[in-house]
A and B are shown apart, each in its own frame.
Chain A
Amino acid sequence: MINKVVNNAQDALLGVENGMTFMLGGFGLCGIPENCISELVRLGVSNLTCISNNAGVDDFGLGLLLKKHQIKKMISSYVGENEEFERQMLSGEMDVELIPQGTLAERCRATGAGIPAFFTPAGYGTEVAEGKETREFNGKMYVLEHAFNPEFAFVKAWKGDTAGNLIFKGTARNFNPMMAMAGKITVAEVEELVEAGELDPNQIHTPGIFVQRIFQGKDYEKRIEQRTVTPKS
């Protein structure tokens, strides 16, 4: 089996440069590649284009990159949890492309699946469709949306093996599988790295073919954005 293991985040991010386009998995702070983000902050690379559903919060997730002005352009579906983001966007310091969440997911999937573009009904008749080709199918209007072209994809999984196979947990799966398919170089950080053969092949969510580098992550915070509970009765 091809061994995809690298020692740490530092080795996993070898080749990362200013001006590159990255995909980063996660929904809110759930399932984000914490170790890779920390390493991007440490490297100080800038002028980045980041494709990620959200932009983190002010002091965690992609918010850490925002604070250091490393991001030139953000491609997301929802950015409501981050004041610094809103400030940089409204002041024009940062470019932002907001796209429907399903379109974002499908554009990621298309990128890795060899589909250059596809038609979706989302956004028809809105400013999201401005300047884009539209077409009618069976009496309904659709908008043409294109695949991305990221240099790196950074994903986070629950378990992974040395062959790069990944298993996600709960709703931390979200965008990670499609982004894993899409990176020219896909880096997977995992909570638990095991030997090839230890994961049940029936249970693999992302086959190792999509993963170029995998490493054992550390010091996961796994912050909760909205802690909602049912009181003990």
Chain B
Amino acid sequence: MALSKQEIAQRIAQELQDKWYVNLGIGIPTLVANYIPKNIDVVFQSENGMLGMGPFPIEGEEDADLINAGKQTVTILKGGSLFDSAMSFAMIRGQHVQLTVLGAMEVSQNGDIANWKIPGKMVKGMGGAMDLVASAENIIVAMMHTDKSGASKLLKRCSLPLTGVNCVKKVVTNLAYLEIKNNAFYLIERAPGVSVEEIIAATEGTLIVEGEIPEMKF
């Protein structure tokens, strides 16, 4: 069975390490916060100016002055802090944030990512994504393996305008967990019940399959 969005987030959460500061993008990445392993401490950074982002407020306690980068009402945890956008991106570009998780429309086998524009159709802007991918040492992309028409989103080369080059190291999709190195996707794990053949068929870019590929564990 291919993973649900929640399960993709759950698998990514296993990559979190103790004492990491983490920036989660909009969509599937936001869900990662629901699955933090119990024995570790991580702090979520929201690029609109908050460290220590907490869960959604209790109904009736929403504060228009406390939102996340997706413009959702949130709370701030004890020990959290607030700051302006220049300082926020100083944290990001200055590599004080250990992990960035973001969504993508396309990823290529050399680690390029496209997620901000479909020429002539959709132009929403890059927000903070270009700053994040240009600077983060650890970038995990969370996305579906194929688009709605079934076309692969893991490509030899991205066809859409790029967000960043040579930056993505790991990709977790509904089918697989892959690493990017040596100009190829390396298949590390497969979703429970998904065959290597299915993953090969859904991957347009060069896919390296070495030995037995284990199933993800939850």
Contact = CB atoms under 8 A, between A and B. Distances in A.
Interface of A: 27-31, 53, 76-81, 86, 89-90, 96, 98-106, 108-109, 120-128, 158, 168-178, 205, 222-232
Contacts of A98: 116-117, 123, 125-126
B104 interface: no
Interface stretch (B6-14, B88-96, B140-148): B88-96
Interface of B: 46-50, 55-74, 76, 82-86, 88-89, 92-93, 112, 116-117, 120, 123-131, 134-135, 161-166
Contact of A173 (B83, B89, B117, B124): B83
B86 A126 contact: no
Nearest to A126: B162
Given A89-B123, A226-B71, A229-B58, A175 B93 contact: no
A105 B85 contact: yes
A168 B164 CA distance: 33
Contacts of B56: 228-230
Given A30-B67, A170-B63, A173-B82, A105 B124 contact: no
Contacts of A86: 123-124
- Among B48, B93, B117, B128, the one with the most A-chain Cβ atoms within 10 Å of its Cβ is B48
A123 B86 contact: no
Nearest to B30: A228
A105 B59 contact: no
A103 B129 CA distance: 11
A230 B130 contact: no
| Leading 8 A-B pairs by shortest Cβ distance | A102-B89, A102-B131, A80-B124, A125-B165, A170-B65, A100-B130, A105-B85, A121-B134
A200 B59 CA distance: 33
Given A121-B131, A123-B130, A125-B164, 9 more contacts: A77-B127, A101-B128, A101-B130, A122-B134, A174-B84, A177-B86, A224-B73, A231-B59, A232-B59
